[in-house]
Amino acid sequence: MFDANISMDLVIQYGLQAVSGLLILGVGAFLARTAGQYTHRTLAKVEMEPPVRLLLVRAVKGLVLVLTLLIVLQQFGIQIFPLIAGLGVAGVGIGLALQGVFLNLFAGLSIIFTKPYRVGEFIEILGEHGEVQTIDIFTTKLKHIDQSIVVIPNRKIIGEILHNYGKIRQLNLSVGIAYGTNLEQAFGTAERIVKKNPRVVQDPAPIVGINQLGDSSINLSIKPWVAVSDFVPAQAELYQALVEAFRTEHIQIPFPQREIRMLHAG
């Protein structure tokens, strides 16, 4: 009878602890979900990249769940402070092993919050250049003109000199004309062709002028701005239009020539 009473007392005691633990877990899960939803609504009003918003929401939910688990362990009489100390020691080793991952994480958060560049902008860094496709927590992806993708770890970007072209780029076209050409006519034709192209941005205004006095030609420099995505097609279209217009208006585009004299000894 004595053993039966002890067994019944243990069942009641641990049964109540188990029920209370499950209730605490249920309440904790509800609070975690509520906190996550509130955090998501709050962050939705702030301009930030979706991966960061998702990370912060999960961090809040995870923090609430961890606190809930600690309360449940305490409910069962488990000393949580030695457990936390043990986890801290293990965390040092894990942190050293995942040092590169954490550096990428912190660098990604820094990039997303400070916004040195945004998706759709053209940047140049670490000898690489391209249009920013995505900014993730760990990496930044650039798209080259040839449609290839360059993946750069975020820790490589922080602290480096970054050239951000923004969402427009300046073309650097060069066309040679003969020395006898009417310069005003050539400038007017080039400006008309550039402004006529729908890909060219009118503000800032295109630049047309003399770039160099070559051996056989005056080299015109034509520098309009276009959207990043129009960089290649705009260049091809403008060169074709310039050649056709110069031919129509009889503006000569000279090619290199050499005069060779042969002397005969008398």
Give Cβ neighbours of residue 208 (< 8 Å, ≥ 6 apart). Answer: 187, 190, 191, 194, 220, 221, 222, 223
Backbone angles phi, psi at 178, to 5 degrees: -65, 155
d(CA 65, CA 59): 10
Select from 3.10.20.90, 2.30.30.60, 3.40.50.150, 3.90.550.10 the CATH code of 114-166: 2.30.30.60
Q: What is the pLDDT of residues 87-116, one digit of tens each?
A: 555 555 544 444 556 787 788 878 877 888
Q: What is the pLDDT of residues 161-197, one digit of tens each?
A: 899 998 889 999 999 888 888 999 999 999 999 999 9
Task: Report which listed range, 1-5, 98-102, 261-265, is most confident.
Answer: 261-265
Q: What is the DSSP letter of 234?
A: H
Q: Domain segments of the chain: what residues?
A: 9-97, 114-166, 168-248
Can you name the CATH fold of 9-97? Helix Hairpins (1.10.287)
CATH code of the domain made up of 168-248: 3.30.70.100
Q: What is the pLDDT of residues 172-181, one digit of tens each?
A: 999 988 888 8
Instruction: State the pLDDT confidence band at 2, using cuts at 50, 70 and 90.
Output: very low
SS3 content of the chain, % helix, strand, coil (to 5): 55, 20, 25
Q: What is the pLDDT of residues 33-84, one digit of tens each?
A: 888 787 777 777 766 666 667 767 777 787 778 787 777 776 666 666 565 5
Does residue 23 contact residue 72 with C-beta atoms inside 8 Å? Answer: no
Quote the pTM value. 0.59
Does residue 52 contact residue 109 with C-beta atoms inside 8 Å? Answer: yes
